[in-house]
Structure 1
Amino acid sequence: MSAGDWRVQAQDGTHHVIDGPVRMRANNMRMLLAAALAGAGITYGPSFVFDPYVADGRLIVLMPDLVTAELAIQAVYPTNRYVPLKLRSFVDHLAIELEAALS
């Protein structure tokens, strides 16, 4: 369902590219999750989105021996000598929440 050209790595270190027909493209993991839950196809995404549905059996992992590359999540804002407290607090909150979701 999500864009092709998935790059994965096997346990022996070999790299593979999985490509195929794409029925749906989205840059929103919640949308891809809803489509997968509705039976529209396969997708991959972050564990903090999909793991609860794998744990309760609504989704299955098709290739458990393969791992995808880690993707960075970045907060981008203009550089400045003064970073507003609201922005600093928001970035700190994101870091805490994402760390909790990934552990």
Structure 2
Amino acid sequence: MKQLILAAALAMFALSSNAGVTTIDNPFQSNTVLKESVEVDHPLFAKGAGGAQCKGLPSTCGQMANCEQAKQALECGNKRLDRDKDGVPCESICPGG
């Protein structure tokens, strides 16, 4: 008997106008456009990244063949190669730039 009353109460609640489902705006589930730009610190999203000269470049200093390759990777947006942010990538192979 208790189960029948509970089921009837739940059914009435579900059908009532006060039980409407509301949603929260979520840009991932709608066509909402961001109103301001978002900066992403990742080589794939860096300005100037891409193009034929950036494809296939090594991603770490240990993988670089020479200083020129490291400089090219830095220009393509791989900021991790310049840990002290002095503009010189892979200082173990590019001492002083």
* Shared fold, TM over 0.5: no
Q: Shorter chain as normaliser: what TM range?
A: under 0.3
TM value normalised by structure 2? 0.24
Higher RCO (C-alpha under 8 Å, 6+ residues apart): 1
Return the index of the structure with the highest Cα Rg: 2
Q: Which has the higher strand share?
A: 1
